[in-house]
Chain A
Amino acid sequence: MSFKRVVITGMGALTPIGNDVSTFWTNLVAGVSGAAPITHFDAEKFRTRFACEIKGLDINNYIPRQEARKMDPFAQYAVIAADEAMKDAGFDADTLDLDKAGVIWGTGIGGLKTFEEEVMNYATNGNIPRFNPFFIPKMIVDSASGVLSIRYGFRGPNFITVSACASATNAMIDAFNYIKLGMMNVCISGGSEAAITIAGVGGFNALKALSERNDSPETASRPYDKDRDGFVLGEGGAALILEELEHAKARGAKIYAEMTGAGMSSDAYHITAPHPDGLGAHIVMKNAVENAGLQPEDIDYINTHGTSTPIGDPQEIKAIEKYFGEHAYNMGISSTKSMTGHLLGGAGAIEAAACIMAIRDQIVPPTINHFTDDPGINPRLNLTFNKAEKRKINYALSNTFGFGGHNASVIFKKYEG
């Protein structure tokens, strides 16, 4: 049996710098920061009081109020992104085989806000167990993929992948492989997260993972800068329509790019700290490049995990230098988290969308907020500081790494028929 080829035929995005793909991409290229003081709750007593929130979103413009209130925000974000992607893909409702259409979504945490509200309600109302019947179906991580399958009537494979900040990438890898194997024709994939909540910010603060640059939120996410002090929490997500190539061609679909390879690995080292030599990061890029049948020299752009943490950034850079050798200094590299913040389980989805748009427009979006070189990071690397760069991009690679030591990478290729 020969493997099928997989292409991207639709995209949707809901991000801190734009509530659709077009706005998101325009702002990525322009170097716009999505960080601002937290509005979702009173963060006055928190060490970190800013984040990359979604802006100007009226959920009821997208989802009727009665439906929306039965979804946690992370599932609402999934619906909004998926609606845009489905519209973009332009399927013919009369001919699409719904039994061969699936949903594989990624999220790292799930319905954190719902969980908090229900438990706080219990704790502040005399410990009377009066839980809402929608509490569990709203909170559980798989609710997003369930909601999407019901919304579009997709009866194929349906589940959520959970691997912390690699979740959405793992989702796309599963979707890619199942389409390759002929188990479905079409899949809504991607991921979403909504963890800018009391417990989300408090929990990551306790880990000392977040930037505490409260006097300058918009410059806080500064991957590879000497004075980086942690990541900036983001929220939102993106949806990608993965489709079997012949299926896409038969219906005359617009093809953004081809997905040609995927890699997975584990650090097997520590529950939160990355391997100091970037061992897992090295293995995952190697696996992805080999899976795509490429040589390291074929990769033109890497969208890094690059979260802006003191220990995370250098290990990925070490891995890139070690794996790509001299080619590491020829390619374009950037961390778009400098603009979007870190969407955790949704990160891989918006970064895949960024890679695909980078291929479409032959532009590397920048790593903004570079002020001071880090002596530990080789200046020969082109980290695309502060300004987008026009560049020939045939292949783009997206890295995501998650707490637990999970690493996942995907490769997209300019579609050439």
Chain B
Amino acid sequence: MSAIEERVKQIIVEKLGVEESEVTPEANFQNDLGADSLDTVELIMEFEKEFNLSIPDDQAENIGTVGQAVAYLEENVK
């Protein structure tokens, strides 16, 4: 597991109060991890803060699963 993936998982566990084992790459924030739309906005903000970058809204809309978040961050975090 990459360092980015590890940090993403920790944020999700912390913010959504889910077990680490549930945070699989396929897990969808809203369908599988109990998030509502506000939780998802908050998660994106936490990623921005943690990785010190800005995720444009049109990009954020495409981040619905753990795997999508990790992939986006691995590509964009310098």
Residues of A that sit less than 8 Å from B by CB: 64-66, 130, 132-134, 137
Contact = CB atoms under 8 A, between A and B. Distances in A.
Given A64-B17, A66-B16, A133-B45, 14 more contacts: A65-B17, A66-B15, A66-B17, A130-B45, A130-B48, A130-B49, A132-B42, A132-B45, A133-B38, A133-B41, A133-B42, A134-B38, A134-B42, A137-B38
Contacts of A132: 42, 45
Interface residues of B, number: 9
Contacts, number: 17
Interface in B37-67: 38, 41-42, 45, 48-49
11 contacts: A66-B17, A130-B45, A130-B48, A130-B49, A132-B42, A132-B45, A133-B38, A133-B42, A133-B45, A134-B42, A137-B38
A321 to B, nearest CB: 54
Contacts of B15: 66
A125 to B, nearest CB: 9
A64 B16 CA distance: 11
A130 B49 CA distance: 9
B77 to A, nearest CB: 17
Contacts of A133: 38, 41-42, 45
A65 B16 CA distance: 10
A66 B15 CA distance: 7
The 4 A-B pairs with the shortest beta carbon distances in the complex, nearest first, are A66-B17, A133-B41, A133-B38, A133-B42
Nearest to B45: A130
A118 to B, nearest CB: 12
A289 B49 CA distance: 58
Contacts of B38: 133-134, 137
Contacts of B48: 130
Contacts of A64: 17
